[in-house]
Structure 1
Amino acid sequence: MVNPLHTKPPKQFVAEFFTTFTDAVVHGSEDASDLMSRYYTRDVVQVADGVPLHWDHLLAHLRPLRKNLREFRFEVHEAFTDGGRIATRFTIHAQMRKGGPVSTRVHMFAEFTPDGLLRRAEQLTRFVAPAESGAGE
């Protein structure tokens, strides 16, 4: 099996992975658990700002996301791969049901399975002002 990380440029892989997943969450009607199983392993661990999130935590996050996220865009600034691992820096631009636009910078180191499922991720995040979101490119 060919790892999807090896068939696309890393920036494209990251953008497509998160965009297609988020689009399916927001606009789709598929059961959240079934949807997650197409993108994440059952033993996934995503450490976000020091807080470990496992399958059930991530699944619970989808319900409010499905209800509150209106628009989104992933701006991938850089991404590098080494086998099934990726290091990337991207900004999530979001418009929620209530409130103004929100931009979050993400620095992520992740491990994917050979079939492209996210197994583990370590993320550092910070909110950024809209004018700052593309800075340093």
Structure 2
Amino acid sequence: MPHARTETSVGTYESHSTSELEDLTEPEQRELKTKLTKLEAEIVTLRHVLAAKERRCGELKRKLGLTALVGLRQNLSKSWLDVQVSNTYVKQKTSAALSTMGTLICRKLGGVKKSATFRSFEGLIVNKYTLNQGRN
């Protein structure tokens, strides 16, 4: 399919199939080009307005004594707080706590099994069991 390259008003080129261009009448093409030009001009204006507002914001922050480092610290603190209250973080902390608790319980039970008291109790149970098996 043959392609044509058209230049937009900001100097970028876009590729269109020539059949798409042929489907538009000359007035339709002019109207679309006019709309495109207006839209691109509006985008440029909005960029200028945004840049001016960002400069003004920077001036106000300087007057208030807020430096980039203070702002960064505040953003990091807020982000960390957001992470801490997130469901995922809470679930991970809960999972880690349960895992730690399980490990501690296993260690304690291992220590209990090795104790003299448990061994003597275990010996009593085994003796009772073997005596009952002998009677049956």
TM above 0.5, yes or no, is no
Q: TM-score range by the shorter chain?
A: under 0.3
Q: What TM-score do the two structures reach when normalised by structure 2?
A: 0.19
Greater fraction helix: 2
Larger relative contact order, structure 1 or 2 (CA cutoff 8 Å, min sep 6): 1
- Higher Cα radius of gyration: 2
Q: What TM-score do the two structures reach when normalised by structure 1?
A: 0.19
